[in-house]
Amino acid sequence: MEHVDPAIIYRFDTRSSRPCEFCREFDPQFRQRHPPDQMVAGSRKPVASAHLTEDGYVRHRMLELRRIRSRIPHTAADAIPA
């Protein structure tokens, strides 16, 4: 799990993890994920790097990027209000 700070790997325990609030809110397939992919370290904010699994991390980042892309105008002309 290279995305997680090595010091954090030893600090969290799956017994103290919780579902990721961000993913639960923005991922329509959140309930279909494997339980470990839904979880983040209990002592951290619901950010991608707090996920316990690589798949959870990747899915979280994809949601973040999708949200950013949906807010950015594709061309300068799109940014001008009609």
Average pLDDT of 18-32? 95
- Report the chain's mean pLDDT, rounded to a whole number: 81
CA distance readout (Å), 43 to 10, 13, 46, 54: 12, 10, 9, 18
Instruction: For the full predicted model, state whether its pTM sits above 0.75.
Output: no
Residues facing residue 51 across a β-bridge: 40
Which phi and psi (to 5°) does residue 56 adopt?
A: -60, -40
Across the range 64-78, mean pLDDT stands at: 76
User: Which token pair is 73?
Assistant: 């105008």
